[in-house]
């Protein structure tokens, strides 16, 4: 098998799995259908690991560039399989595999779900490797469509509306993506990133206003998928109302892959650096603003969804710097966030299903409720604790390493302090969420499993436990061996090896400070005025028109800023 065929396997293996699963759907049940579906899932989610292992030596040797099926570079579809592609594939497969395992226990089940899920896994790999503008459009379309269907596969009230509003706003944004694509094709006559770069350099004005506006259109359309401020409004509903396994992959993986694809694209464009810097600053604001909103939530999964926006803000902030070392920090946090946020969605989802309520202010005695649903060894509680301590950036877990790596990039500036404050609010927010483990109040119904709204007959089965166990062990392992992981990621991204380790005295002191400040913020948030403020933030008006205006406003600001630089 040639290098280029090998590099396409992470895309084609999940598709082959999807084809098998589609056949299983056509058979309408039975042992054969189940066998087909299971082998489809194995081919789609397990075998790509072998392809990635085989690609590693080639990636370390500098990566592979090719056009699909070997057509000429001027017309064919360019692909680039390098360290970034490899890492983003690892992120996608880890998140997708663990979440799928969970779905086998707690749904959604069935060949249709597996088919769409595998197609999404394939589109993630496709997005990571593409180096062609139109191909990127196709990738984003598949990613989007698969997520709309997966969100709607939840039977919760509001999920259809959440999926529809996500569809409407990102489809509207994709129109602008197409305009951007048209603009670049108009001035350069090619669709491959390298071709566009070469043609723009040859032009006297570097593409002029068309190139600037097209860059803004492309970047804004992809930023919607990443859910950075101000275009994050679709995410909380979609991620909170989706089935837990889908929430885990949406928050863990789906908002990051487009970001790294955008980074690859902007690296080739003349005003790309400026666009990245601007989106990066928006990321810092996102990290802080979203965590404040998260702190005010009473729905447990919505709280987690706002934290996804906040954490992606950290990733985007580092990503915006563009340098390989910053990219390594951004990837590390993206990867760790996929692990711990996946873990949090799965564990909190299990708890809320068992308890029958998602209200953080009401749900108490979670450990006992879980025990009644078959979690004898408190595994779900431990999984939650690992996830919460990771996102709170406490040593020795992985969030500690990546948040410090990002903080280190901004040492001394306003961004550093904004991210520090966001970290403290994250601590406060998870102290609040952890109150679900407090003993049940007197007067509350003794048998929480009998509350209306709990999933009838929920048994916390082996696959659910296994998926949480895998994610929790990865959180601990990447935390304990943070320095080795950082070194490996830096090497794959061509960044210099980082100076100093994660566990320095200064970082440990900072963790203590964050914890103390977080506890203070938590106290404020739980006070009467704090609760009133939280209710006001929760009740702020949100509308679809607001989503559209936020997108267009963001686009206009980006375009104006790029035009000024240009």
Partner 1 sequence: MRRGKLLSAATGLAAASLALAVLAPVVMSDVDWPTAARDTIAADGYAATGATNLVSAIYLGYRAFDTLGETIVLLVALAGSVALVASTPGRPDLDRDGGPADSRGPGHTDIINVIAGKLAPIVLLFGTYVMLYGHTSPGGGFQGGVVLASGVIFIAIGRRAGGIGRISPSITAFGPRTLSVIEAIAFATVLALSFPGSGAALAGLIEATGASAGVAAKGVAAVGPIIALNIGIGLKVGSGVALLCVMMLGGDQE
Residues within the interface to partner 1 (CB under 8 A): 2, 4-5, 8, 12, 15-16, 19-20, 22-23, 25-28, 68-72, 74-77, 112, 115-116, 119, 122-123, 126, 134-135, 138-139, 141-142, 145-146, 148-149, 152-153, 176, 179-180, 182-183, 185-190, 209-210, 212-214, 216-217, 545, 548-549, 552-553, 555-556, 559
CB of 5 to partner 1, least distance (A): 5
Residues in the chain, total? 566
Spatial CB neighbours of 233, under 8 Å, sequence gap ≥ 6: 169, 542, 546, 547, 550
- Does residue 114 contact residue 37 with C-beta atoms inside 8 Å? yes
Spatial CB neighbours of 104, under 8 Å, sequence gap ≥ 6: 461, 463
Q: Which CB atom, from 19 or from 526, has the smaller least distance to partner 1?
A: 19
Query: 396 preceded by cis ω (within 30°)?
Result: yes
CB of 485 to partner 1, least distance (A): 33
Residues 116, 131: Cα–Cα separation, whole Å: 24
Q: Which CB atom, from 188 or from 310, has the smaller least distance to partner 1?
A: 188
CB of 511 to partner 1, least distance (A): 43
CB of 135 to partner 1, least distance (A): 6
Q: Which CB atom, from 163 or from 370, has the smaller least distance to partner 1?
A: 163
The secondary structure element, H or E, covering residue 522 is helix 505-526
CB of 535 to partner 1, least distance (A): 25
Q: Which CB atom, from 149 or from 419, has the smaller least distance to partner 1?
A: 149
Q: Which CB atom, from 177 or from 430, has the smaller least distance to partner 1?
A: 177
CB of 565 to partner 1, least distance (A): 15
Q: Where are the alpha helices (DSSP H) in 356-497?
A: 366-372, 379-391, 398-409, 414-433, 462-480, 482-492
- Does residue 255 contact residue 325 with C-beta atoms inside 8 Å? no
Degrees (nearest 5) of the Cα angle 5, 36, 54? 25
CB of 342 to partner 1, least distance (A): 23
Q: Which CB atom, from 93 or from 211, has the smaller least distance to partner 1?
A: 211
Q: Which CB atom, from 15 or from 433, has the smaller least distance to partner 1?
A: 15
CB of 311 to partner 1, least distance (A): 28
Q: Which CB atom, from 146 or from 312, has the smaller least distance to partner 1?
A: 146
Q: At what angle do helices 272-295 and 414-433 cross, to 10 degrees?
A: 30
- Does residue 328 contact residue 490 with C-beta atoms inside 8 Å? yes
CB of 198 to partner 1, least distance (A): 12
- Does residue 263 contact residue 228 with C-beta atoms inside 8 Å? no
CB of 244 to partner 1, least distance (A): 19
- How far, CA to CA in Å, does 312 sit from each of 64, 316, 469? 29, 6, 24
CA atoms within 13 A on the CB side of 397: 23
CB of 164 to partner 1, least distance (A): 11
- Reduced DSSP (H G I as helix, E B as strand, rest coil) percent helix, strand, coil of the chain, to 5: 75, 0, 20
Q: Which CB atom, from 55 or from 392, has the smaller least distance to partner 1?
A: 55
Residues 142, 23: Cα–Cα separation, whole Å: 20
Q: Which CB atom, from 190 or from 478, has the smaller least distance to partner 1?
A: 190
Q: Which CB atom, from 23 or from 367, has the smaller least distance to partner 1?
A: 23
Q: Which CB atom, from 187 or from 228, has the smaller least distance to partner 1?
A: 187
CB of 443 to partner 1, least distance (A): 39
- Does residue 340 contact residue 475 with C-beta atoms inside 8 Å? yes
**Rg over CA atoms, the chain:** 23
Residues 335, 403: Cα–Cα separation, whole Å: 12
Q: What burial letters (b/e) apply to 476-492, b meaning 16+ CB within 10 Å?
A: bebbbbbeebbbebbeb
Q: Which residue shows structure tokens 């292992």?
A: 53
Residue 344's SS3 state is helix
- How far, CA to CA in Å, does 166 sit from each of 119, 128, 262, 372? 19, 22, 20, 37
């Amino acid at each position: 098998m040639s290098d280029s065929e090998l590099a396409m396997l992470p895309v084609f293996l999940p598709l082959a799995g999807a084809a098998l699963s589609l056949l299983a759907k056509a058979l309408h049940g039975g042992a054969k259908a189940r066998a087909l579906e299971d082998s489809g899932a194995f081919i789609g989610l397990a075998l790509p690991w072998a392809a990635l292992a085989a690609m590693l030596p080639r990636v370390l040797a500098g990566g592979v560039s090719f056009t699909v099926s070997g057509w000429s570079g001027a017309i064919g579809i360019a692909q680039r399989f390098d360290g970034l592609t490899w890492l983003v594939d690892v992120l996608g497969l880890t998140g997708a595999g663990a979440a799928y395992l969970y779905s086998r226990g707690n749904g959604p089940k069935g060949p249709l779900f597996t088919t769409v899920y595998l197609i999404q896994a394939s589109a993630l790999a496709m997005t990571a490797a593409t180096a062609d503008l139109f191909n990127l459009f196709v990738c984003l379309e598949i990613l989007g469509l698969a997520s709309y269907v997966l969100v709607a596969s939840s039977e919760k009230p509001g999920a259809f509306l959440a999926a529809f509003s996500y569809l409407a706003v990102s489809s509207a944004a994709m129109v602008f993506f197409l305009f951007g694509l048209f603009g670049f094709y108009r001035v350069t006559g090619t669709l491959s990133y390298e071709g566009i770069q070469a043609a723009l350099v040859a032009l006297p004005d570097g593409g002029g206003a068309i190139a600037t506006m097209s860059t803004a259109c492309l970047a804004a359309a992809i930023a919607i998928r990443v859910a950075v401020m101000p275009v994050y409004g679709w995410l909380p509903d979609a991620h909170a109302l989706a089935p837990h396994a889908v929430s885990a992959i949406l928050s863990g993986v789906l908002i990051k892959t487009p970001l790294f694809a955008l980074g690859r694209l902007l690296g080739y464009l003349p005003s790309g650096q400026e666009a990245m810097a601007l989106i990066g600053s928006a990321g810092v604001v996102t990290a802080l603003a979203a965590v404040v909103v998260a702190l005010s939530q009473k729905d447990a999964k919505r709280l987690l969804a706002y934290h996804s926006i906040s954490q992606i803000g950290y990733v985007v902030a580092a990503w915006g710097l563009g340098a390989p070392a910053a990219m390594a920090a951004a990837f590390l946090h993206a990867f760790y966030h996929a692990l711990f946020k996946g873990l949090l969605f799965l564990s909190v989802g299990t708890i809320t299903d068992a308890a029958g309520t998602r209200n953080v202010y009401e749900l108490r005695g979670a450990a006992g409720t879980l025990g009644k649903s078959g979690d004898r060894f408190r595994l779900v509680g431990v999984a939650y604790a690992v996830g919460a301590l990771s996102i709170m950036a406490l040593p020795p877990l992985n969030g500690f390493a990546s948040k410090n790596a990002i903080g280190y990039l901004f040492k001394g500036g306003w961004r550093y302090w904004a991210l520090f404050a966001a970290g403290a609010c994250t601590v406060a927010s998870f102290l609040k969420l952890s109150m679900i483990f407090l003993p049940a109040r007197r007067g509350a119904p003794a048998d929480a499993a009998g509350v209306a709204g709990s999933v009838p007959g929920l048994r916390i089965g082996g696959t659910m436990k296994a998926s949480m166990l895998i994610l929790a062990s990865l959180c601990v392992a990447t935390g304990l061996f943070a320095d080795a992981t950082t070194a490996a990621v830096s090497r794959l991204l061509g960044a210099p090896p980082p100076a100093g380790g994660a566990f320095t005295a200064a970082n440990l002191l900072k963790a203590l400070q964050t914890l103390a400040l977080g506890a203070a913020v938590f106290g404020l948030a739980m006070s009467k005025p704090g609760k009133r403020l939280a209710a006001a933030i929760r009740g702020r008006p949100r509308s679809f028109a607001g989503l559209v205006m936020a997108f267009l406003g963001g686009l206009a600001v980006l375009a104006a800023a790029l035009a000024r630089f240009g």
